[in-house]
Chain A
Amino acid sequence: MSGLQPVLPSNQAPSTFEYGGDEISAIVLDPGTAWIRAGFAGEDTPKSVIPSDYGVLEEAGENGGKKYFIGDNDVHSIRPGMEVKNPMSDGIVADWEAATILWREAITPRLTTALSEHPLLMTEPSWNPPKNREKTIEVAFEDFDVPAFYLAKAGVCAGFASGKSTGLVIDVGASNISVTPIHDGLVLRKGCVRSPLGGEFLSNQIRAYFESANIPLSAHYQVLSKTAVEVGKPAEAIYRTFAPGEEPTESYKRFQEERVLTEFKECTAQVWVGPGPLPGNNNPPLEAAHAILSPGGRTFEFPDGYNLVFNSERFRITEGIFHPPSMLTAPNPDPQTTPGLNQLIANAMKDIDVELRQTILNSIVITGAGSLLYGFTDRVNAEIAAAFPAPRVRIMAAGNSVERRYASWLGGSILASLGAFHQLWVSKKEYEEHGPNIVEKRCK
């Protein structure tokens, strides 16, 4: 078809009807537990990505108030007494004051200084309670003074990013793994399920494993210089010393350790591909498992130079996602009552009309940074194929890690740049007329 059309000269814009877009310079904000992503609608990656964790110093700001340290540069600096906090809890906002400051920081001045000129589209998890939704729209209109606002479900947006308006979105976030069935761009509420087995859980798993194996965990800020040591030999590093009263806080230490754990997740952790659960699960006959799992193993070097080869543990720390009884962090979350990912999918499918199940299983969208674990999609594929042998299962997972991490932002970006979407914005006038409750009526 495109062959028939003449090539468009570079100085001529395509007709808006060709892609249905009409850019109104809207801003898309996708706040998550780990990262806040913001950017202009119509672009393919968020321009501004800041960590949701922020540093705060009591009585250091103007008039003796709080002083916030936001963004990668500030939050990682060593400051005595600075607490590192996160405004989110269970994927939804718990601390509104900090959340508002963080969101504003993500947008201004990186994207714009005039919030009142740009409509704002925000994403929310499917389990966001109405109270929080109303508060969100309040923040947008009262604090940010945006001309128009819309609250879209993150799951729906992630589906849009993969070009699906009907499907099953598996989002492996920092706080939760959520399974969201969507149909025609609307969330099927009965099928929305989640489990606290996301990135934070994985970090805790690694931490628990390190503790049980007596592996010392160091953070980058603690080390001034290091020398190479043999595998398994104690570290020979010069550590940073702090004068009494100058030490960083415990929350800062934990936050910095978390970065090392994230690195460990990225380069060492791996998902057992299956079929079936990890062998030697509950009572690990380690040697046998070693032989089956990996003859090689992978080395990980801690910030202080201490390094180790990890074999079956790489699989054991992630197995809890699919098979909660084998988690290492028990009793929090409870291995018996927490559903694993396969259980989540089964639960979600149970509450969906049977006619839709076939369609939904045919377009499964996997998103979220946690899904970038090596072998994750293969395992999900194997588990779903085992649980639902009859229908055709098709999994869509962006190969590009940026798209996988920012899928819900990208979907929001697509949505807010569509010409046909502009009738859905909640305008300031409407908000003033109907109050915050309008979000329940308009953003379904």
Chain B
Amino acid sequence: MSGFQDVRDVMELSGPTDATARIPAAKKQKTVERRPDGITRELFALLGENPPPVAIVESKFKEKPRWMGKVNPWVWKPFENPARSDGLVLHHWERKTEPPQDLEYQFAKFNVKVDIPAYTDGEYEVLKDPDWTREETDYLFSLCREYDLRFIIIWDRYEFSGGKPRTVEDIKARYYSVCRSLMELRTPLNQMTPEETQIFNLLNFDKERETERKNMAEVLFARTPEQVKEEEMLLVELARITKSQAKNLEERKELFSRLEVPASQGSIAAYTGSQGLAHLRDMMVNGNDKNKKRKSIAMAANSANSADGLQQSPAVATSAERSGLGGGGSGPSQKDTPQPKKQVRKLTEEEELEFGVTYHDRLTSGVKFRSAMVAVTVKGGTAQKVQAALAQLEISPRLAMPTARTVRKFEQLQASVGVLLDARKANDKIDNEQRVLRAQIEVAKEDS
């Protein structure tokens, strides 16, 4: 209990110091959760009030098989198949308790036959075809019945003595034309139900088209390995193009969304006076940072984008103002750029050097070291190469005395190292190409 008292003292808490005087916490409602069987008391206590995180499998003996149950007998039972006409009796095992299935053999329903139309002698007069004799047509229909219209099988087994060789298309065309004519003969076209008309139209077999399609399939099947490879390559190329096309479209869309300028609203009358212009300039200068990105694009697209005068003038104005600012202080009413320069005394170069006056294109706010202002003249991968080259020449990347001149010189050095590196790269490339071409010439010479 001393610990408790110490804490109270440290916390400078007043009140009853007697530990026993504390109001006892309201007794928690005891949860009436029964401990499952497969878990020890200690482990269950650790779980707290939450339900066990995993399902607990109770270890239990397997249920006793019910040996005493009555065995369900099977009987070796004769059955007849209604799909057969000869009354063949076969036997199979059946449950004795099952209701008798003798009424109908359950597999009999699979005995399906295709309905092949038959024609009479009179009807055949209409079905005549100079290419087909009556006998051959009969033979064809018998085969159709026998092989359930599997035309490929029919063609495979087609052996009509004295007949000419038939293709699958010949067989199909004859069969369908006979069916069609027969249908028309029995029910005139105008008396057909919609279903019948549909079937009638389906029976229209276009032999020429089918033959052509099959020829094409033949050509497709007989592709050489080279053709297959080429096809694969073209498909890959197509996939690549479609993929990059989506990307290109996206990029273009983004660009357009940036180029989109808000339409000018209201008149420009408010900005016509010098006061108005000054106000406009203030607005522009303040909003400059925000517009920086947009401006560069807008300028690039100036010729293409028929921006209205209002949009154009701020762009010009901002750049003008910015150069003016660099020159140090400009009158608020001046719009023209040369004017502020006239007002200040023109320093000679020596004087500028002497006084340390420098001009900057861009000034960011805050104090910084000049060494940190070394402009990066080379970009990207070359920048690192330049760094490496400088390190090789034992020139520190950080200038010991970064005056304006040394910084400028350092920038120049960086730029020229970059140019030299680029030149070397180009040179290597050309050398390589030269070597390859030479080798090719050698090979060509040997071949010839």
Contact = CB atoms under 8 A, between A and B. Distances in A.
Interface of A: 11, 13, 16-17, 20, 22-25, 117, 119, 147-148, 183-184, 186, 188-191, 353-358, 386, 388-391, 419-420, 422-423, 425, 427, 429-430, 444
B35 interface: no
Contacts of B225: 386, 389
A390 B221 contact: yes
B152 A183 contact: yes
A253 to B, nearest CB: 46
Given A148-B90, A422-B81, A353 B152 contact: yes
Interface in B77-109: 81, 83-84, 86-93, 95, 106-108
A422 B90 contact: yes
Which of B92, B108, B225 is the most central at the interface, judged by chain A CB atoms within 10 Å of its CB?
A: B92
Nearest to A356: B152
B364 interface: no
Contact of A358 (B87, B93, B221): B221
Given A119-B90, A186-B153, A189-B156, A354 B72 contact: no
A-side binding surface: helix, strand, loop or mixed? mixed
Contacts of A119: 90
Contacts, number: 95
Contact of A22 (B92, B111, B150): B92
Contacts of A427: 84, 86, 88
Contacts of A186: 147, 150, 153
Given A25-B91, A148-B90, A390-B228, A423 B84 contact: yes
A319 to B, nearest CB: 23
Interface in B205-264: 214, 217-218, 220-225, 227-228
Contact of A419 (B107, B168, B218, B227): B107
B217 A13 contact: no
A423 B90 CA distance: 11
B110 interface: yes
Contacts of A389: 223-225, 228
B90 A183 contact: no
19 contacts: A11-B72, A17-B106, A23-B93, A25-B91, A25-B92, A117-B91, A147-B90, A183-B153, A186-B147, A189-B156, A191-B156, A353-B155, A356-B152, A390-B220, A390-B221, A391-B221, A422-B81, A425-B90, A444-B147
A267 to B, nearest CB: 36
B446 to A, nearest CB: 27
Interface string B118-148: 0000000000000000000000000000110
A183 to B, nearest CB: 6
A420 B95 CA distance: 20
A429 to B, nearest CB: 5
B86 A429 contact: yes
B84 to A, nearest CB: 5
Contacts of B153: 183-184, 186, 188
A147 B152 CA distance: 34
A390 B95 contact: no
Point out which of A388, A391, A422 has the most chain B C-beta atoms below 10 A from its C-beta. Answer: A422
Given A355-B214, A423-B83, A429 B88 contact: yes
A355 B224 CA distance: 18
B157 interface: yes
A189 B88 contact: no
Contact of A354 (B81, B107, B110, B217): B217
Contacts of A422: 81, 83-84, 90, 107
The 4 A-B residue pairs with the shortest CB-CB distance in the complex, in nearest-first order: A419-B107, A427-B88, A423-B83, A420-B110
B86 A354 contact: no
Nearest to A25: B91
A355 B156 contact: no
Contacts of B83: 422-423
Q: Is the interface of B mostly helix, strand, loop or mixed?
A: mixed
A88 B99 CA distance: 49
A118 to B, nearest CB: 9
Contacts of A430: 86, 88
Given A25-B91, A190-B156, A429-B87, A423 B108 contact: yes
Contacts of A420: 107, 110-111
A24 B108 contact: no
Contacts of B156: 183, 188-191
B67 to A, nearest CB: 11
Nearest to A26: B90
B223 A419 contact: no
A338 to B, nearest CB: 25
Contacts of A390: 220-223, 227-228
A425 B83 CA distance: 11
Given A148-B88, A390-B228, A354 B152 contact: no
Given A355-B152, A390-B228, A422-B90, 5 more contacts: A11-B72, A24-B91, A189-B157, A390-B221, A423-B84
Contacts of B222: 390
A345 to B, nearest CB: 14
A100 B108 CA distance: 34
A238 B222 CA distance: 62
A106 to B, nearest CB: 22
A353 B228 CA distance: 21
A191 B156 CA distance: 9
B150 A183 contact: yes
Nearest to B213: A355
Given A184-B153, A423-B81, A24 B217 contact: no
A309 B157 CA distance: 52
Contacts of B95: 13
B69 to A, nearest CB: 8
A444 B217 CA distance: 29
B221 A357 contact: yes
Nearest to A20: B107
Contacts of B228: 389-390
A355 B217 contact: yes
Nearest to B110: A420
Nearest to A188: B156
A151 B162 CA distance: 30
A9 to B, nearest CB: 11
B84 A354 contact: no
Contacts of A357: 221
Nearest to A425: B88
Nearest to A119: B90
